[in-house]
Chain A
Amino acid sequence: MNFLEKLKMQKECEKPPPPLESPLFWTEISDSVSHRFQFGPDGRLSVKVLDDARPVIHKMVDSFLSKFFPSGYPYSVSEGYLRYTQFRALQHFTSAALSVLSTQSLLFAAGLRPTPAQATAVSWVLKDGMQHVGKLICSNLGARMDSEPKSWRILADVLYDLGTGLEVLSPLCPHLFLEMAGLGNFAKGMAVVAARATRLPIYSSFAKEGNLSDLFAKGEAISTLFNVVGLGAGIQLASTVCSSMQGKLIVGPLLSIIHIYSVVEEMRAAPVDTLNPQRTAMIVADFLKTGKISSPADLRYREDLLFTGRLIEDAGNVKVGRPLRKFMKPSELGQLKQIFPEEKFVLSRGNKWVDMVLEHDATGEDALRGWLVAAYAAHMGKSSHEPRASVLQKAYDKMSDVYYPFLSELRAKGWHTDRFLDGTGSRFAW
């Protein structure tokens, strides 16, 4: 900043450095405008506006944008919020446009002018009945969504587009109108619940200052705006290109692809800061490989949102939450439990992977300990051919050495280590 340096030089030239430890100027940032305050040589306070060389239009745009950003924007949110928001806007735009097309098709398929009684009965059964069933089914899967909010959110939007797609296609087979529209609404009902339920885990990873409601309200404002724009665009499309079925078959998938793409990007931008199996494995793998601990923002683009249960070799090929009875024999359980009697995990080695089962009240820290032991054991097992129990014991000792610095570093990076979110994975109790 040339300007700043010049100022500083001026100041230094004009008066001898005062006998004070702290310099007598400061920068005040208020509503994204920086002011520089300074005591002049005569002891009076002078104010300068810093780097506000923006044109008037930019200023107006900024003050407009600030309506759509949480208050205290750059400080009060986590990294990735801007990107998340941009794609969210795009997502809402395309989805709204798509919904206009599907409504048009639906009315078309129903014969455009239904008698009132029919319309009410049909619409009630369709809209609410099927949607309720979908909602009920999806609300049963909440625990899985906590573990993998991003994947479920993407799934929700895929389901939603499926539902819309069925509605768009309904004029092609008018005799199946009821079935098509019902199925469409069923998918939509599931999508609505999944989308709503996953919103909070994702938002809470952005909320740095406990400003959850604010984020929510601002998010609502953005989606409202882009929904309106999208509806407008959709109506335009419906009356021009998409008035014929062919047009719809081209534009519909196109919009849907943009929609899904923007959801995927949106989800990848969110730095979720809770421990689930995949993220734990990635943290452990990074730690073993580089000795560093990744922050939630580092991991977000490397997460695999499609195959969430994939094995990570560097982290010891650990699988969590398989039912105990599938792989464990009672005699084995007693032995394994005796290796680490105080710990809340049990490690059992299979052919291709290591199974880890947690006790029912195990925290994220217990899971991390188990995972570290498994990873160390896997590394040592490759090089030496000692008996398994001694390898495990060595790995355990190694884990105990590094564990506390590891944990405190993890917390400092912003991870929540109090819970291990393994969805509906099995745990055990004595």
Chain B
Amino acid sequence: MGCAFRASCLSGSLVSPPIITTPERRPFGFTSLLSLGVKPFPFTFLARARATARVHGLQCISRETDNLKTISGSPSPFDSLFLPLLLGNDSPGGGDRDNNGGKNNNGGWNNPFNSDGSSWWHDDSSSSHYPFLLLLFCSSTLCCLFHLQLAKSALARTTTSSASSSQEESNLLESSSVWEVRGGKWTKLIPDYFKDGFIVAQPDYGTGIGSTQSFIPVKLWFRCRDLFMRLMLPEGFPHSVTNDYLEYSLWRGVQGIASQISGVLATQALLYAVGLGKGAIPTAAAINWVLKDGIGYLSKIMLSKYGRHFDVNPKGWRLFADLLENAASGLEMLTPAFPHLFVLIGAAAGAGRSAAALIQAATRSCFYAGFAAQRNFAEVIAKGEAQGMVSKSIGIMLGIALANFIGSSTSVALASFGVVTWIHMFCNLKSYQSIELRTLNPYRASLVFSEYLLSGQVPPVKEVNDVEPLFPAVPYLNVNSLYKAQQVVLSPDAKNAAAEIECRLQLGSKLSNVFSSKEDLLALFNLYSNEGYIFAEHQGRFCVVLKESCLPHDMLKALFHVNYLYWLEKNVGFEATGTSNDCRTGGRLQISLEYVQREFNHIKNDGESMGWVMDGLIARPLPNRICPGHMAPSVASLT
């Protein structure tokens, strides 16, 4: 067993030296690498140590990973590093708590980097002078990060399961012990009846490992793992966040690395374009400041106008921002080819970059607010910062190494930039697809409502998020990410209905545009006297007029009304006969309003039980509100 440990340590140390020693030429790269290269690798190294310890020491089933794979039943292509950690899950009583956290983790790992991880590990230690070596090196480090993160995910589950299982055990054995919970940390207190006080039980890390030889490294590993998890994951991790958090964070990590690399490449290209070699940092800083910040400020202010769009469709805007960021990097890459256009290109790139930064910051808040299952916003964000820091550091390191290698050759730079950009965009796409937004925007609400009207059931959050197009405004840009199995859940009728309703819906219309005669207006006022909105169909558009007292909740109700009317139109063939006719008893507006008033609370409860946030509609109404004559306007002007 000791041999096994030594071997794994050796393999770990075989990996790390080339990472630190590759760029020995430039002082710029060297200082940063020294301080950065140290950080993430102990974890993989420890992961290996831990893995072998488990395989050889505890399980005693077989030394071959193939067997382990069949035991755990997981078909993932990862090597021994990941699987033994999963096996730790099989402790009795731990299964129940895993289900919510573990669902996403085994799912869609169809990324391109993990195809043949182990062979790359050995490649990069062999030599260091071939042009594509750095690319391999970069991807192998990505690989390594994946291992690291996955190990983390597995560990997260092992800890919780072991916590719960040992808790249950303790319930059986000694019913008098009490747990002290502080954040995500459980401390066992043992009552000492002799002194009438509590004693803190020593956390027994190595339960089940009888051998004393493996005890110290295992304990060390547990310590490091605890530290790492405390630094990188929100407190009370699997329960304090929603279950899509982990997958999202993993993809974010990889995309952070890729984006840093392309950032470094772009800066270098920019510097070459002004005719500076390495080391002209003060000038570069000045240029950067003027271009990036100065122009960027302007573009930020211009773009903030679209704030409400970000709320309604955060994923699409976020992806657009990433495209913008990459386009900006691409422009900077092109500057050496057109040195005479330097200022122009640099300014455009600066504007793009800071616009992207604005959208990213704004939409990030939206995503994080969704993840914080226990209103632990600050915690989720703070941990997001820590994760971003790690992936940024790795990215900068790799980027500097790559930049040193490429030198001034534009073609190689462009080629590697293309590859990195592709990785970046792919990871972004995956990370946004993994997010499950629980709030309702017009599209999601229409889909939920029409599915409810068609089948009587509220669809689950994940399915609706999967079919929602990222760019509703530009249909042909949407990436077709539908899986065959999911189309069973959501009927195509409901999807068509949602798309059409979103097109025809106009929230916050002007009342003066909606009706054509005095009678219509009177009928509308009377019909909707108790509602916060007025809904009428006008020239094929679903116009919702908002009263001054309208709350987000009323907007949701209005949308349900719209959906029901659409359903009547499609399935019953109830055609419009003029507004005032429709408002009479037996007219379709009146009938549908009655139905909505009766049924809205039902669907609200059903939706909440499926995990939707049914408090209100997140929409971008036009800025018109009305105040019927018998009420005085309360807030009239801006200042």
Contacts and interface: CB of A to CB of B under 8 A. Distances in A.
Interface of A: 20-34, 37, 39, 43, 45, 47, 50-51, 62, 65-75, 116-117, 119-121, 123-125, 128-129, 132, 135-136, 138-143, 145-146, 149, 152, 193-194, 196-201, 203-204, 208-218, 220-221, 224-225, 227-228, 274, 323-325, 328-331, 333, 360, 416, 418-419, 421, 424-430
Interface string B520-543: 011001100100000000000000
B181 interface: yes
A331 B27 CA distance: 66
Nearest to A28: B626
A271 to B, nearest CB: 15
Contact of B525 (A22, A67, A121, A419): A22
A333 B178 contact: yes
Contact of A71 (B186, B282, B377, B620): B620
Contacts of A138: 382
Contacts of A217: 303-304, 306-307, 310, 358-359, 362
Interface in B218-269: 230-231, 234-235
B230 A24 contact: no
Contacts of A212: 311, 365-366, 369
A125 B28 CA distance: 11
Contact of A324 (B180, B282, B620, B626): B180
Contact of B178 (A62, A201, A324, A331): A324
Contact of A116 (B179, B281, B623): B281
Q: Mostly helix, strand, loop or mixed at chain A's interface?
A: helix
Contacts of B385: 135, 139, 193, 196-197
Interface in B447-466: none
Contact of B279 (A117, A197, A204, A220): A117
A325 B200 contact: yes
A216 B307 contact: yes
Contacts of B380: 142
Nearest to A359: B181
Contacts of B625: 28-30, 75
B172 to A, nearest CB: 13
B3 interface: no
A201 B378 contact: yes
A136 B231 contact: yes
Given A62-B638, A209-B618, 14 more contacts: A22-B526, A22-B629, A27-B633, A50-B636, A62-B637, A67-B305, A72-B623, A123-B281, A132-B389, A138-B382, A145-B382, A210-B439, A325-B198, A428-B181
Contacts of B529: 22
Given A139-B382, A427-B182, A199 B307 contact: no
A421 B369 CA distance: 15
A311 to B, nearest CB: 21
29 contacts: A22-B526, A23-B630, A27-B626, A28-B512, A29-B548, A30-B624, A30-B625, A51-B636, A125-B31, A125-B35, A135-B385, A139-B385, A140-B382, A142-B379, A143-B378, A143-B379, A146-B379, A194-B382, A196-B382, A201-B375, A214-B307, A217-B358, A221-B301, A228-B297, A328-B198, A330-B198, A429-B167, A429-B179, A429-B186
Contact of B300 (A204, A224, A430): A224
Given A199-B365, A418-B375, A419-B374, A67 B279 contact: no
Interface residues on B, range: 35 or more
Most B Cβ at <10 Å: residue of A68, A204, A325: A325
A139 B231 contact: yes
B341 interface: no
A65 B639 contact: yes
A429 B178 contact: yes
Contacts of A210: 311, 439, 552, 615-618
A94 B605 CA distance: 49
Given A146-B375, A424-B183, A428-B178, A216 B365 contact: yes
Q: Which 5 A-B pairs have the closest CB atoms?
A: A214-B307, A142-B379, A142-B382, A330-B191, A145-B378
A45 B512 contact: yes
Nearest to A427: B181
A200 B369 CA distance: 8
Nearest to B30: A121
B301 A25 contact: no
A154 to B, nearest CB: 14
A143 B526 contact: no
Interface string B167-198: 10001000010111111001001011100111
Most A Cβ at <10 Å: residue of B439, B529, B618: B618
B189 A324 contact: yes
Most B Cβ at <10 Å: residue of A24, A28, A199: A28
Interface in B601-638: 615-618, 620-630, 633, 635-638
A75 B550 CA distance: 9
A147 to B, nearest CB: 9
B156 to A, nearest CB: 17
Contacts of B86: none
A34 B623 CA distance: 12
Nearest to B529: A22
Nearest to B196: A329
A325 B362 CA distance: 44
Nearest to B629: A23
B204 to A, nearest CB: 18
Interface in B361-386: 361-363, 365-366, 368-369, 374-383, 385-386
A140 B306 CA distance: 34
B638 A120 contact: no
A205 to B, nearest CB: 10
B479 interface: no
B198 A197 contact: no
A18 to B, nearest CB: 9
A303 to B, nearest CB: 17
A256 B279 CA distance: 35
A143 B181 contact: no
A34 B633 contact: yes
B369 A71 contact: no
A226 to B, nearest CB: 11
A67 B299 CA distance: 13
Contacts of B182: 323, 424-427
Contacts of B630: 22-23
Nearest to B282: A119
Given A29-B625, A198-B378, A211-B618, A74 B308 contact: no
A120 B31 CA distance: 9
Given A221-B300, A324-B178, A213 B526 contact: no
A78 B567 CA distance: 36
A120 B379 CA distance: 33
A37 B512 contact: yes
A67 B304 contact: yes
Contacts of B358: 217, 220
Nearest to B621: A72
B389 A149 contact: no
Contacts of B198: 324-325, 328-330
A74 B369 CA distance: 23
Interface string B380-424: 111101100100010000000000000000000000000000000
Contacts of B442: none
B605 to A, nearest CB: 16
A125 B362 CA distance: 30
Contacts of B230: 140
B522 A20 contact: yes
A208 B376 contact: no
A428 B179 contact: yes
A94 to B, nearest CB: 18
B105 interface: no
B32 interface: yes
B56 interface: no
B274 interface: no
A193 B384 CA distance: 10
A20 to B, nearest CB: 6
Contacts of A416: 375
Contact of B310 (A194, A213, A329): A213
